[in-house]
């Protein structure tokens, strides 16, 4: 199959590695990709958010399936542009992608579908946000309504901090103030063809920058899968009370959702509640879900893109544990320092059952001597979250040991990562 994967992060690298692991001889291209992806497959420097360019490239190169990784191309309508050329796309059109692009829209869909979630109000001014914070009370939950790269959410007991966060994001649009829900968070990915859904394995990610869930919110600093503390009926409950009602409501509104429904959930005493929906694979959860996937990913993605999920069995997963730890640049998330060399990746990859998935990397020519024209090419960090180190093991302890041995081999000046990913994972009580 000729597959075009849009995106340049570790999520896309994980998708590509999963496709390459199949005994299918796929012809894979990434746009635009990164330095690590370029070592695995062909990369092309086209803008993944430009629907006309992407659709033209896919048509000219006889692409059988386009897989959209990030949210920005989905919200921009790239999926619509490609489908108009008759090419299957894994990823919703612009109208359906508003499930992620607008938290207010998502709340309206959840209300129509009867999906369990917290109360929320949309505020457009600082005065409205202030009064809503007072009515909802602490702990305060404030969310940017639009796309915010995982940095638009604040949960705090500090009212001044909550109002400051609302004030900052009101400069970019409306802000939601939400009811605080108490419980443990978990992510569940569900493949959808617009009518049917198939679940992948649950995962838990770590949003805060620092150990002990301290520091600012980020796009995610690590994750693990499976999630042994979940009840055995958890996935079935989410399908019946959240995923299918949402998909059916979207279909009834003439905005069918085709692609990956990311359910960001909180497990409360009253059952799972939706914190947020995303319209694509999550990062870094994808990095721990796909390495455990036994069922060929290409078949699942193509079936979702072409309306063929009905009647398919649920995807099969290995019993292995997967842990990923994210290496971030100094200054992340507020002001990451970029351009610094990355060393030790070969040593990290040599650790058993470890793979290094690139997110923000490039190969640059660095001068070796300020007085000469000699230069050498080296791998450098080009963004905030630089790479994900993923390790498999038969136990959490084994997977963690491998992941931290590998990331400890990597050198990045000022680099930072959490040391407590999957440090305390307890099974469900029965």
Let me know whether 236 and 293 are in one domain: yes
Q: What is the pLDDT of residue 430?
A: 42
Nearest of 344, 426, 334 to residue 387 by alpha carbon: 344
Query: Which residues sit opposite 322 in a β-bridge?
Result: 225, 392
Let me know whether 196 and 280 are in one domain: yes
Does residue 281 fall inside a structural domain?
yes
Any idea what the CATH number is for the domain that residue 29 is in? 3.40.50.20
Does residue 248 fall inside a structural domain?
yes
Written as tens digits, the pLDDT of the chain (430 aa) is 999 999 999 999 999 999 999 988 999 999 999 999 999 999 999 999 999 999 999 999 999 999 999 999 999 999 999 999 999 999 999 999 999 988 889 989 999 999 999 888 889 999 988 989 998 888 888 988 777 666 678 888 889 999 999 999 898 888 888 888 889 999 999 999 999 999 999 999 999 999 999 999 899 999 999 999 999 999 999 999 999 999 999 999 999 999 999 999 999 998 999 999 999 999 999 999 999 999 999 999 999 999 999 989 999 999 999 999 999 999 999 999 999 999 999 999 999 999 999 999 999 976 555 555 555 789 999 999 999 999 999 999 999 999 999 999 999 999 999 999 999 886 654 4
Nearest of 73, 6, 54, 53 to residue 34 by alpha carbon: 6
* Residue that terminates a domain, selected from 137, 160, 178: 178
Residue 133: CA atoms inside 13 Å, Cβ hemisphere, count?
Answer: 26
Does residue 424 fall inside a structural domain?
no
DSSP code per residue over 115-162: --B--EEEE-SHHHHHHHHHHH-SSEEEEESS--TT-SEEEES-HHHH
CA separation, residue 343 to residues 10, 322, 350, 412 (Å) = 18, 24, 14, 7
Q: How many domains does the chain have?
A: 4
Nearest of 271, 287, 220 to residue 69 by alpha carbon: 287
Does residue 413 fall inside a structural domain?
no
Q: What is the pLDDT of residue 368?
A: 55
Tokens for 195?
A: 């009518």
Burial class, 330, CB count within 10 angstroms (exposed 0-12 / middle 13-18 / buried 19+):
middle
Let me know whether 125 and 206 are in one domain: no
Let me know whether 126 and 67 are in one domain: no
CA distance 49 to 83: 15
Let me know whether 277 and 187 are in one domain: yes
Let me know whether 282 and 295 are in one domain: yes
Does residue 335 fall inside a structural domain?
yes
Let me know whether 230 and 244 are in one domain: yes
Does residue 284 fall inside a structural domain?
yes
Let me know whether 355 and 400 are in one domain: yes
Does residue 388 fall inside a structural domain?
yes
CA distance 328 to 298: 30
Let me know whether 128 and 242 are in one domain: no
Does residue 96 fall inside a structural domain?
no
CA separation, residue 230 to residues 116, 203, 404 (Å) = 18, 10, 25
pTM, two decimal places? 0.92
Query: Which residues sit opposite 385 in a β-bridge?
Result: 328
Let me know whether 243 and 276 are in one domain: yes
Nearest of 77, 56, 58 to residue 5 by alpha carbon: 58
Find out whether 342 and 329 touch, Cβ atoms under 8 Å.
no
DSSP code per residue over 37-94: HHHHSEE----TT-HHHHHHHHHHTT-SEEEE-SHHHHHTTHHHHHHTTT--EES--H
Q: Which residue segment(s) compose the domain that 294 sits in? A: 182-305
């Amino acid at each position: 199959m000729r597959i075009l994967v849009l995106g340049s992060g570790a999520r896309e690298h994980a998708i590509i590695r999963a496709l390459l692991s199949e005994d299918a001889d796929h012809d894979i291209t990434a746009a635009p990709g990164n330095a690590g992806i370029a070592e695995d497959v062909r990369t092309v420097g086209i803008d993944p958010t430009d629907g006309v360019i992407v659709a033209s490239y896919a048509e000219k190169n006889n692409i059988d399936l386009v897989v959209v990784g990030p949210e920005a191309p989905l919200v921009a309508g790239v999926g619509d542009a490609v489908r108009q050329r008759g090419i299957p796309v894994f990823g919703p059109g612009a109208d359906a992608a508003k499930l992620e692009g607008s938290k207010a829209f998502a709340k309206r869909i959840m209300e129509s579908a009867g999906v369990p979630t917290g109360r929320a109000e949309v505020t457009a001014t600082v005065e409205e946000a202030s009064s809503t914070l007072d009515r909802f009370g602490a702990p305060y939950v404030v969310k940017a309504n639009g796309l915010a790269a995982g940095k638009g959410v604040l949960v705090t007991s500090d009212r001044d901090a909550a109002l400051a966060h609302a004030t900052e994001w009101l400069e970019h649009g409306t802000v939601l103030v939400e009811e605080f829900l108490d419980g443990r968070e978990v992510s569940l990915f569900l493949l959808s063809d617009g009518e049917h859904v198939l679940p992948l394995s649950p995962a838990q990610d770590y949003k805060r920058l620092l150990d002990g869930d301290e520091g600012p919110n980020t796009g995610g600093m690590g994750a693990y899968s499976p999630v042994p503390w979940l009840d055995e009926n958890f996935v079935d409950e989410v399908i019946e009370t959240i995923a299918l009602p949402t998909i059916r409501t979207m279909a009834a509104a003439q905005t069918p959702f085709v692609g990956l429904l990311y359910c960001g959930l909180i497990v409360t005493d009253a059952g799972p509640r939706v914190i947020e929906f995303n319209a694509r694979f999550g990062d870094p959860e994808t990095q721990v879900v796909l390495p455990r996937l036994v069922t060929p990913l290409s078949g699942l993605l193509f079936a979702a893109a072409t309306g063929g999920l009905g009647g398919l069995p649920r995807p099969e997963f290995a019993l292995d544990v997967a842990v990923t730890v994210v290496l971030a640049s100094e200054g992340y998330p507020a002001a990451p320092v970029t351009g610094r060399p990355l060393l030790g990746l070969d040593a990290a990859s040599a650790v058993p059952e470890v793979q290094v998935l690139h997110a923000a990397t490039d190969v640059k020519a660095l001068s070796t001597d300020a007085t000469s024209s000699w230069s050498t090419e080296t791998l450098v960090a080009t963004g905030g979250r630089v790479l994900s180190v993923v390790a498999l093991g038969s136990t959490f302890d084994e997977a963690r040991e491998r992941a931290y041995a590998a990331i400890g081999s990597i050198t990045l000046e000022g680099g930072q990562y959490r040391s407590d990913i999957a440090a305390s994972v307890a099974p469900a009580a029965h």
